[in-house]
Every structure is written in C-alpha cells, then in structure tokens.
Copies of this chain bind each other. A is one copy, B any other.
Amino acid sequence: MATLTAPFISHSFRSTKQFSRILHRSSTHCVLNFRLNNSINCLSSTRNMSDAATPKKCLEIHNINPNIKTMEYAVRGPLVIRAAAIEKELEQGVKKPFNEVIRANIGDCHAMGQVPITFIRQVLGLCVYEKLFDDPSIPSDVKQRARDILNGCKGGSLGSYSDSTGIEVIRKHCAEHIQRRDGFPSHHDDIILSAGASGSIKALLSLLRCDIDGKRPGVMVPTPQYPLYSATIAEFDMEQIGYYLDESKHWGLDVVELQRAINEAKKHSAPRAIVIINPGNPTGQVLSRDNIEEIIKFAYKEKLFIFADEVYQDNIYDPDSKFYSFKKVLFEMGAPYNKMDMASFMSCSKGYMGECGIRGGYCELINVCPDVKAALNKSISAQLCPTTVGQACIDCVVYPPQPSEPSYDLFIKEKQGVLRSLKERADMVAHTFNSIEGFSCNTVQGAMYAFPQIRLPEKAIEAAKKASQTPDTFYAFQLLEKTGICIVPGSGFGQKPGTYHFRTTILPQKEKLKEMLDLFRKFHENFLKEYK
C-alpha cells in the first residue's frame, strides 16, 4: 500500500495528472480498500469467466479513460461513501455512539431541513400540473408567472424540449435581472440556462481544450477550490494552475500570488483562463471591489478568460462585505477592460432557495465572440436542453415577486428568514471553532461553508501515515466514525503544505448545529488526549 508523505501538495501543481496522482495517493484507507476490493471482484469475475472459456470484459479498469481514473470529486468522495454505509448500518440496527449521520459535507439546504420558498414551489406546481390553475388559493401573480413560462414552451408544455440555451422568456428575465443588478446592458442571447451552474461551467471549460504552441491549456484555480474545477480539468486533461488564497488575510486574493502561479505554469503550459469563486467556496470570503479590479487587470494583462463563479451572490453575512459582480466592475472600469470576454455563473441551488435537486442555473457570456458562442451552443445542443423545471425555477429567482404583487410579502418574509438564520449560523460556526483548542477559523463572510485550520498533534500525523491517509482525512474519518458528523478534509480542496483544514457547511438547522458543534468539541478534546 502506498505510503504517504506530507506535505503532499506541491506549491504549484506541475500537472493535473501529477496533482491527481498525489490526490489519489492521498486517498483514504477506505478508498484504497474500496478499490482493491473492487479490483479483486473484477479480477475474480474475469478469472471465473476465463475458467468458463469466456473472454474478459470489454471495459476493465486498465482500458478505460485514464483521465476519469485520476479525477477526484472530494465532496462526494470516500468519506461520503462511508457515511452512506453508516446510515445503512444504523437503519439495520447496528449500535453506534450516535443515532444519525450529520451530513455537513455538501451545500444541500433542503436535506438539512430548510423549507422551500412557497412562491417557487407554487410556480413549479402550476407549470407541471395545470389543473392547479383552478385552485383559488394560489395567488394571481403565481398564476401569471406560470402562464408566462408555459406560453414560452412549445405546445404550452414543460414536457417539450426548449432551445438548447433555454426558454427565451426565461433568458429575457435573466438578462433583465442582471441589467437591474449591475446597471449595464444584458441581452438574452448571451444567456445560457443549464442544469445548475455545473452544466455550463463544464461546457465552457470544454471550449478551452486547445493546445497553444504545443502546450496544454491551463486554468488558474484558487487553492482551496471547489473540486468541480479540479475534477473537470482532470477529466479534460488540462493543466490546473493553483493559486493560493491568503488564509491570514481572510482568504484574500493577492495578485502577487497570481503572478507567481502563472509564471511557474507558463514554463510548461498555456494559461487560458482564471476561475474566481466569489463569495468563496470552501473559504467563505467576499472579494472587495478593489480586489476584483486588480484581478481583472491581471486577467487582461495575461489574456485570461474569466470564469466568475458567483453562485453565492445572495449569501453575504458580513455587514462590511458587499457582493460586486465581475461584470459590473469590468464595465465600470471602462476601456480597455470593458471589452474583455468572460462568463458569470449563477445557480438556484444556493442563495436563500437552495433548490439543488431541481437543477437550475444560468451563465452570462460577456463580450464573447459570436462564432465562439455559436460553437458553444452547438456543443450543448446534442444534449438537447436543460431540464425545463430547472429553468422555471431559475426564472423565479431572477424575477421574484414585486412589491405590488400578492406573493411579495410572504416571499420576502421567507427569503429574509432563511438569510437571517444562515447569518446566525455562519457566526455561530466561526465563533465556536475559534473557541476550540487548536482550531482557527476565518469569519464566514459569505457562501455556506467554514474552512477552519486545525493543528494536529505529531502522533496523529504519524497514525495517519500508518493508515495511508492524509492527516486531515484521518481526522475526518475518526470524526465520522465516532460522532456521525461528515465533513470534507481540506486535501479535497487543496491547502498549503503542512496545514490541515476541513470544510463544513453551516447548513444544519440551529439546534442541530449547536448539537453538532458540541459533539465536535468533545471529539476534538478526546482526539487531542489520544494523540498527545
């Protein structure tokens, strides 16, 4: 079994493959076991087959896409697989020191008890079940909205395919929303609706797959980052160019570090794009307007396409922070910046609505060449269209009830209720973690996560090494087995060598969150005793 050397993440990943190899090596005991077991299964099944004079399988682990073998998506990785297995064990009556698994690994609001927004669900209800139009308890503005959406569907049904870029009236609502938000023009032909933000992020990353002067295309991605990016970059065999966020400055983004990372990367790759997650996932920071200007200037100088991942734009908790869209800043900066091509992404999975399973999202293409846009549209057309229900959902988000409308008061009450509660929980999480010995946690200015640093005792690091796990993964597995709390180790997002973190969501409802944090504190105290 591979031994693990920490610090295991090099300062700049020489190549995605290398990074993935390292990540893979750092995979937990569990994943190694899992894979070994699977390989044994497959080998034995093929052995049995050859016994019966049958050929081996057509698809075996050695002859499938190597990029898929190396890619990792930590948010759904081995810890989560183990968490699901523990849930099954609990169901079957296996005794554990806890009664339930607390899934703090993924930003899944409704799973943690958040109640859907009435306006959204009423509109979706009418759109899929038209008999509801006869229900006098449904407000008139909901009916009007559902009618507008259905009128935008071919045959008046959500069951028909939409354009690959989405239903026109909804794209118009997106463009109007962006224009209101930023004060700059937006056109619905530049809007692409997708299944969550992930769908269009992947489609756009795919456009970049073009060697330049014999060099692999590179994408700058924050460290720590949301692993959709590392997974997709690995799948596409592109170069992940990690730039560090500065933990000592509230996970701020420093242009000097951007420059260091790109200079290093240019030796062997062709940097094409930069990903900015604002508010930050997993780090919860909110970028200042000045910082955004600096990043835009850097991207301009280096000719990088900007991926502005702005899915948490409604999740700002810090009273001194404000969300500025990259588009707004870019346009306010004037020439030459206001001609740069970039894209911004939004989702209905986050914010106050948290409609993850419904899969709605949009992407705005800003200043993108028409023929590049046509190629992108063509590339998504073979998958026909994003779910129309997801499209209807994002419509409700970009065009919520207006003050004069009957649904307005309830909508605002529900929206503000969720956001207020999230702010309380954001404060509670950071505050509690900072009160635990060996923890330090930046303020959660926005988004839905805390990413605290933990100092681990030398003995624990050695025990992790023995278990062929990274120390943070070792810690997370211990936590899961002893308390049922499921978090994601920092190594799944990337972190500075020799530092250890984890990501937890702030999403358990208040009482549950308190309980979780108490469990956490007790676990950590015991852990320190055990490994001191």
Which A residues have a C-beta under 8 Å from some C-beta of B? 34-35, 38-39, 41-42, 45-46, 49, 52-55, 57-61, 63-69, 71-73, 76, 84, 103, 106, 108-114, 116, 121-122, 124-126, 128-132, 135, 137, 153-155, 157-164, 195-196, 198-199, 202, 206-210, 212, 227-228, 231-232, 235, 272-273, 300, 303-305, 335-336, 339-341, 353-359, 367-372, 374-376, 378-379, 381-390
Contacts and interface: CB of A to CB of B under 8 A. Distances in A.
Contacts of A370: 38, 41-42
Contacts of A158: 357-358
A116 B158 CA distance: 10
B39 A371 contact: yes
A54 B273 CA distance: 18
Given A64-B207, A73-B381, A159 B110 contact: yes
Nearest to A207: B64
Contacts of A132: 125, 129, 132
Given A111-B160, A374-B34, A198 B61 contact: no
A228 B382 contact: yes
Most buried by B among A57, A357, A359, A383: A357
Given A49-B339, A63-B210, A64-B207, A57 B372 contact: yes
Nearest to A300: B55
A65 B210 contact: yes
A130 B451 CA distance: 35
Contacts of A35: 371, 374
A371 B63 CA distance: 12
B387 A54 contact: no
A370 B33 CA distance: 13
A54 B374 contact: no
A76 B45 contact: no
- Nearest 6 pairs between A and B by C-beta? A125-B129, A111-B154, A357-B388, A54-B336, A111-B160, A110-B157
B59 A207 contact: yes
B339 A378 contact: no
Contacts of A235: 206, 379, 382
A303 B272 contact: no
A85 to B, nearest CB: 13
A387 B208 CA distance: 27
A369 B45 contact: yes
B272 A375 contact: no
Nearest to A306: B58
Nearest to A337: B54
A209 B54 contact: no
Most buried by B among A59, A73, A164, A340: A59
Contacts of A389: 128, 357-358, 387, 389-390
A302 B472 CA distance: 47
Contacts of A305: 58-59
A395 to B, nearest CB: 14
Nearest to A212: B63
A501 to B, nearest CB: 21
A364 to B, nearest CB: 15
A53 B159 contact: no
Contact of A367 (B57, B164, B371, B378): B57
A376 B158 CA distance: 30
13 contacts: A38-B369, A38-B370, A46-B369, A58-B272, A59-B368, A59-B372, A65-B206, A125-B129, A159-B355, A159-B357, A195-B383, A196-B383, A232-B382
B228 A375 contact: no
A387 B384 contact: no
Nearest to A235: B379
A251 to B, nearest CB: 23
A107 B53 CA distance: 44
Most buried by B among A103, A128, A130, A198: A128
Nearest to A236: B65
B372 A60 contact: yes
